[in-house]
Structure 1
Amino acid sequence: MLEKFSRKIAVWLIKSGILENDNSELYGYAIQYLLLIIIPTINFLAYCIATHNNIIGLIILFSFLLIRKYSGGYHCKSSTVCLIFSTIVLIAMVFYANLMNFSPVIIITIILCELELIIKGPIISINHDISDKERIIYRKYLYVILAVYDIIMALFIYFNKIHLACSIAIVIITCSLAHMICMIGKNKEVYY
């Protein structure tokens, strides 16, 4: 469904003279990719505004995008499913960040999830290949990002902003779960 809509937008932009006619498939793909980022983000931000979770929502959104960029993880086969699933996952992270409280079990879970992200990351789909050099760079960025997030979580806890710390913690846990999904069943063939 999203693919057809993206192609129609690309054709309309070409007919309008905004885009050149030489590569409509590429334009359609780019529009689809843009919509896959914009639509879940708008839905998620609307949910955060409606539930008065603006700060937690922004922390989750930016933390998730940054970690996910450099750690990789599971991708849905259909763009429509991806759109729906992404929105649900983002909203679930806000919901659970509000329920979470830091405990020794959560701290151990975060440490294990960070280790999993670093050891296995980045997990990339066979449809999106990266070089060995890029893999090393992504892993270094991931080390730095996780170290910075650990410091930020510690500061949030120190200043008694537990829900803000939990918002970063839930992102780390969710990204690690996305990694683990790639390693089970038929997914092993699609990811490396």
Structure 2
Amino acid sequence: MFRYFAENITFVLIKNKILNIKNRNIYVYAIEVILLNLILLLSLLGISILGKDLSCFMGFLLFFVPLRTFVGGYHAKHSEVCFAMSIGIYMVVMIIFYNYPNLYKNIIVVSIYILAIITFLIWSPLKNENHILTNYQYKRNRKILFGSIVINIIFFVFFSKMNYAIASYEIIFTVLASIFLIIGKLELYQNKKE
């Protein structure tokens, strides 16, 4: 669906001489990514509004998106699968929070959060054969990731001390990003093995 719309938009832009045809594949991919992310963000915002929980959307934007951007990890092969998985996982996150809003007070859960951060420090950013980074870009992303982790830890301590339940969302989204990293690492290992 997203690819179909991206191809049509690209076709119109090329036809009207706004874009150059020789870079068509790049434009199709870029427009597909923009459409996917825009519709996904609007959908997640809508789910948060319907669920009367905008703090989930804030947690997603503050904690998951920056980590996922610089950590890397598993990516679905098709944008529709990515969209469906993202919506499903987001709804599961809301259900977990609804049932356990005080996860940040549980020492076992906080330990899992710390383990997630350790996985970032060891394996991030994950080197992806489909998205090759130069050494400079890799080192830059690693520095940005470390800064992001430090900021997240400061937020977590602050939210926990102030008894703000958004600390639970921070835990959930951080652990979720680490799960995607681990799956991506396993997938990379499996591909090298074959």
TM > 0.5 fold call = yes
Percent identity reads 24
Residue correspondences, number:
189
Quote how far apart the aligned CAs of 1:156 are.
1.0
Determine the C-alpha separation between the residues in 2 that align with 1:183 and 1:143: 19
Aligned equivalents of 1:128, 1:185: Cα separation in 2: 15
Separation in 2 of the partners of 1:123 and 1:68? Answer: 11
SS of residue matched to 1:183: helix
Tell me which amino acid in the other structure corresponds to 1:154: V
Matched, 1:132 2:114: no
Aligned equivalents of 1:141, 1:186: Cα separation in 2: 23
The amino acid that maps onto 1:73 is G
Alpha-carbon contact 1:10-1:24 (below 8 Å) kept: yes
Which amino acid is 1:180 matched to?
I
- CA distance in 2 between counterparts of 1:140 and 1:186 reads 23
- Partner Cα separation in structure 2 for residue 31 and residue 140 of structure 1: 29
TM superposition outliers: structure 1 runs of 4+ over 6 Å? none
Distance 1:113 1:94 in 2: 20
Aligned to 2:145: 142
Inter-partner Cα distance in structure 2 for 1:38 and 1:91: 18
Compared with structure 1, are the counterparts of its residues 142 and 186 closer, same or farther at alpha carbon in structure 2 (3 Å cutoff)? Answer: closer
Which sections of structure 1, spanning at least 5 residues, go unmatched? none
Match of 1:108 in 2: 111
Structure 2 residues not aligned, in runs of 5+: none
The farther-off stretch of 134-143 and 118-127 is: 134-143
What's the counterpart of residue 30 of structure 2? 30
Question: Which range moves more in the overlay, 115-124 or 136-145?
Answer: 136-145
**1:184 partner SS:** helix
SS at match of 2:186: coil
CA contact (8 A) 1:182 1:188 kept: no
Show CA shifts across 1:77-118 (max 9, x none). 112111211222233223323333221101110111100111
The alpha-carbon distance between structure 1 residues 67 and 11, as it changes in their structure 2 partners (threshold 3 A), is: same
The amino acid across from 1:122 in the alignment is P
- Measured in 2, the distance between the counterparts of 1:142 and 1:85 equals 24
2:174 aligned to which of 172, 175, 178 = 172
1:96 aligns with 2:96: yes
In structure 2, the CA distance between the partners of 1:46 and 1:105, relative to structure 1 (3 Å rule), is same
1:152 aligned residue: 155
TM-score by length of 2: 0.88
Deviation at 1:56, TM superposition (A): 2.7
1:76 paired residue number: 76
Question: Is 125-134 or 12-21 further displaced after alignment?
Answer: 12-21
- TM-score between both structures, scaled by the size of structure 1: 0.89
Q: Retained in 2: the 8 A contact 1:60–1:93?
A: no
2:185 equivalent in structure 1 = 183
Quote the residue 2:126 is aligned against: 123
RMSD: 1.9
